[in-house]
Amino acid sequence: MSQTVDRALSILPLLAEGPADLGQVADRLGVHKSTALRLLRTLNEHGFVYRQSDQRYRLGARLFALAQEAMENLDIREIAHPHLVRLNEQCGHTVHLAVYEDDEVLYIDKVESRYPVRMYSRIGKPVAITVAAVAKLLLADLPEPERRAVAEKLDYPLYTARSTPNAEAFLTELAKVREQGWATDLGGHEESINCVAAPIRGADGRVVAAMSVSAPNVVVTADELLTLLPLVRRTAEDISGEYSGRTPVRDPA
Residue 120's DSSP bridge partners are: none
Please tell me the predicted confidence (pLDDT) of residue 253. Answer: 39
Which candidate, 208, 37, 214, 202, places its Cα nearest to that of 117?
214
Question: With a cut of 50, which residues of the chain have pLDDT below it?
Answer: 248-253
- pTM, entire model: 0.71
Q: Using alpha carbons, select from 167, 165, 197 the residue that is nearest to residue 180.
A: 197
* C-alpha distances out from residue 43 to 32, 51, 60, 161, 163, Å: 17, 10, 9, 62, 56
DSSP, residue by residue, 54-108: TS-EEE-HHHHHHHHHHHHH--HHHHHHHHHHHHHHHH-SEEEEEEEETTEEEEE
What is the structure's pLDDT at 251? 45
Predicted local confidence at residue 118, as pLDDT: 66
Ramachandran area for residue 55 (φ above 0: left; ψ -120 to 50: alpha; else beta) = left
The pLDDT of residue 71 is 54
Contact 87, 232 (CB under 8 A): yes
Per residue in 48-63, pLDDT (tens digit) is: 999 999 999 999 888 8
The pLDDT score that the predictor gives to residue 247 is 61
